[in-house]
Structure 1
């Protein structure tokens, strides 16, 4: 994957747009999912990302609330996206410069990483769908900045577990992230979310 593809995939985070709301299919227990999200403090595992151009990438991810997430891509080696609680750093291994940085508050993943997320907040949940197998998709937006876009979070049922999310750009481009081997009982090292440290280690 070249530098342009890497940046395009990462920039799908802050550039969500507005599409039609998902139709409500079967009844969704939003309260149970809200409870799960509040209890989800740390996580790590494998992910597979499908980019707007149809290309795919895989790697390892780490989450530590509030505000911290790290994606380590298998290829190209050294490609990473790190959120440290305030900023998102996009690391391009082919660049001699430091990472490109974007405010975390402008990315839809900031909703997932909130310390106090509440799906009961007025205006946050735009729609929800439930498949026959129990898989649930919930579309959320920041009520204070609805123009910044939205994220569709996917959850498995019995037991409830985060399975991934999809972001949609203002032009309709979609980036899908599917999670696997989700572990929620391991505390990732805080150093993993240090953008400055990651930058120094590349030198």
Structure 2
């Protein structure tokens, strides 16, 4: 198993998967003027609405670890709670959520690992009970066309953090397109996922969020 596969076999990293979170700027660490606070609240609400406005989506992704190793593939999302990461090339793995748990399937070693959605940074994307308004903090993006939201549960630091990056796009649900995210687990494992070629509104069957269990196919007949 190569170094990147060892990284993404870690529980929180399987949430697509550790990346450096943005430090909270000093300007956000102190009380804001009412007009600034109102603008920030509005941007946070816009990000929440845009995320929840997605019914189905497909996009190409590039997943990069701290060392710069990259994996590519296609993401399929269906709200609420379902996601699939189909990897290209010789990366014989699959990451899938059925709305309850996130599952990492490694076909090379016939291994399956599962974690509750709420225990991973991807809970901010997939868990309908995760209130991004409560756990999200608007970050300075340096651009009027970009909204950056850091999501963490201060009472559960072991779940890690995820920073969601949205870009203005009139063709995306809610007028904002999820462009990328960065996740950081409690062991400081970092992963960045960048999306492109977004497509929305297609029919996605339940079978897209299932998987072939390699543990069954690898057993010898009794």
Q: 2:137 aligns with which of 126, 132, 145?
A: 126
- Cα shift at 1:86: 2.0
Structure (1/2) with the larger helix percentage: 2
1:165 counterpart SS class: strand
Please name the residue that 1:41 is paired with. 55
Residue of structure 2 equivalent to 1:175: 191
Q: Secondary structure at the match of 2:68?
A: coil
Evaluate the alpha carbon distance shift between residue 116 and residue 100 of structure 1 in structure 2; reply closer, same or farther with a 3 A threshold.
closer
| Separation in 2, partners of 1:177, 1:19 | 13
Pairing of 1:49-198 with structure 2 (within 5 A): 49-95=63-109, 97-115=110-128, 117-121=130-134, 124-132=135-143, 134-142=145-153, 145-159=156-170, 160-195=176-211, 198=212
Alpha-carbon RMSD across the aligned residues, in angstroms, is: 2.9
Query: Counterparts of 1:192 and 1:90 in 2: how far apart (Å)?
Result: 15
Q: For 1:119 and 1:19, how far apart are their aligned partners in 2?
A: 16
Q: Can you give the 5+ residue segments of structure 1 that lack an aligned partner in the other structure?
A: none
How many positions carry a matched residue from both structures? 197
* DSSP-derived class of the 1:181 partner: strand
**3-state secondary structure, aligned to 1:99:** strand
CA contact 1:45–1:61 (8 Å) conserved in 2: yes
Look at both structures and tell me which one has the larger radius of gyration over its CA atoms.
2
Q: Which secondary structure does the structure 1 equivalent of 2:213 belong to?
A: helix
Q: How far off its partner does 1:103 sit?
A: 2.4
Cα distance in 2 for partners of 1:133, 1:75 equals: 37
Shift of 1:98: 4.1
| Residues 37-81 of structure 1: per-residue CA shift (max 9 Å, x gap) | 221232111100101222001001111122211111113253211
